Amino acid sequence: MTTAMVTGASAGLGSEYVKQLAATGWDVIVVARDAARLEEAAQRARGQGVTAEVFPADLGVRADVERVAERLRDPARPVDLLVNNAGMGTGRGFLESDLETQDRNLEVMVRALMVLTHAAGEAMVARGSGSILNVSSIAARTASGTYSAHKAWVDTFTRGLARRLRGTGVTATVVRPGLVRTEFHDRAGLDFSDKPSFVWLKTETVVRSSLRAAKKGRVTVIPSLRYKLAWVISSLLP
């Protein structure tokens, strides 16, 4: 059996990662703050015939991040796939939001992702196998506040890491989803109800195509043709 750790596994894309991984026989470790929702995700996975470990942690708290990193380093219980998925929108412009929120978002989406990638990457390279899948965003292409800056960091970081990992048996993949129907926008207080239906992706689509890309060891993946085109067109614009 192979084991995957998914951060932000209590909702949205994270719970879909757990579902699809469990459906293909992966044991799972689910990480997020909401222990009750993690337990529900774990129960669903167990119902699919795999083992599921519940690991409540706030990735905005350094001591919690270190506990998760320790779990990834444990040689007795190897983790074969790390999905760094936890994240959130700020919902306001930089100067309109408080610095405390900005600081926490940076800790979760950048620092925790870096620390967990380091812990998992070291253990995987020592074993000669493993995959890391980092969730960025199409927003990495735009200059719209700290969220897009964090996602651009994840994108650049993962592509550089993938190059350094060549020949080790370990791969790193970054996924750049467009808009996905999850709790993300409500949590951030963003009203996107005026967006046309064609811009919305299903969690199933994003998760399926990113897991396929990670399995093949691809470095980048943009789920759906429309967002691939959006990425290319935006790169041609001033």
Ligand X SMILES: NC(=O)c1ccc[n+]([C@@H]2O[C@H](COP(=O)([O-])OP(=O)(O)OC[C@H]3O[C@@H](n4cnc5c(N)ncnc54)[C@H](OP(=O)(O)O)[C@@H]3O)[C@@H](O)[C@H]2O)c1
Contacts to ligand X by CB under 6 A? 7-14, 32-34, 37, 58-60, 85-88, 108, 135, 137, 177, 179-180, 182-184, 187
How far apart CA 179 and CA 142 sit, in angstroms, is 14
> Whose CA is closest to 137, among 234, 237, 28?
234
227 in active site: no
Comparison of 111 and 127: residue with beta carbon closer to ligand X: 111
Least gap, CB of 128 to ligand X (angstroms) = 29
The nearest distance, CB 173 to ligand X, in angstroms, is 14
Closer residue to ligand X in complex, CB, 126/190: 190
Minimum distance from CB of 201 to ligand X (Å)?
Answer: 8
The number of C-alpha atoms within 13 Å of 135 and in the hemisphere containing its C-beta is 28
- Catalytic positions are 147
